[in-house]
Chains A and B, each alone.
Chain A
Amino acid sequence: GQQLNQSPQSMFIQEGEDVSMNCTSSSIFNTWLWYKQDPGEGPVLLIALYKAGELTSNGRLTAQFGITRKDSFLNISASIPSDVGIYFCAGHRGGATNKLIFGTGTLLAVQP
């Protein structure tokens, strides 16, 4: 089945640094979602994007729905140790489908 290409696969940064990650697809999506998974937990929704070009913030997190509808970006500003985890993008094609396509994840490690 199709999966979204997410990059980078992993990042090791210092506390206070800004972080950027992205997700790309060969096909169009109508909804882009960003989830975070803490160690030993299930993913939790961070940001949902419903419109091409949309830019949405949630605290220090900002995500954008790419204008081509084939990509999305997540930025984290001034990272802190609790930002550690795996970040997943997910896309929904619209229509009646009840399926999300998930990215392969970006592992973020933050050194205090």
Chain B
Amino acid sequence: NAGVTQTPKFRVLKTGQSMTLLCAQDMNHEYMYWYRQDPGMGLRLIHYSVGEGTTAKGEVPDGYNVSRLKKQNFLLGLESAAPSQTSVYFCASTLKGLQHGGELFFGEGSRLTVL
């Protein structure tokens, strides 16, 4: 079972370059999330989506954009990468919203380094 799949798994960028992280889930989940994980900081929510065609800002949205054109995919974009965006990025999805006790299923993570 694929579950939540993130691509790419690793990427090195130069400052100012752009890139897109792709998250795909095959569980027909409505809700999808992008988190970043930094040492000693736990997981912080960047953006999330409650359904196809909708997105919302999380805790640390600056410098990122997202799109949810198809229910199974949630894209995270960096328009002009900065060293502060060096992190491990996790995508997660859930069938029902967190307010209804939905369980988050995470991808394996994408490690991004910005030089």
Hey, which bits of chain A sit against chain B, CB under 8 A? Answer: 1, 3-4, 6, 9, 31, 40-45, 48, 50, 88, 90, 92, 94-100, 102-105
Closest-CB distance, B93 to chain A (whole angstroms): 11
Residues of A within 8 A of B59 (CB): 1, 99
A94 to B59, CA, bound (A): 17
Hey, which bits of chain B sit against chain A, CB under 8 A? Answer: 4, 31, 35, 40-45, 48, 50, 56, 58-60, 90, 92, 97-99, 101, 103-104, 106-109
Closest-CB distance, B95 to chain A (whole angstroms): 13
Contact of B106 among A3, A31, A43, A92 (CB under 8 A): A43
What are 22 A-to-B residue pairs whose CB atoms are below 8 Å? A1-B44, A1-B59, A3-B42, A4-B42, A42-B90, A42-B106, A43-B43, A43-B90, A45-B104, A48-B103, A50-B101, A98-B97, A99-B58, A100-B98, A100-B104, A102-B35, A102-B42, A102-B43, A102-B44, A103-B42, A104-B40, A104-B41
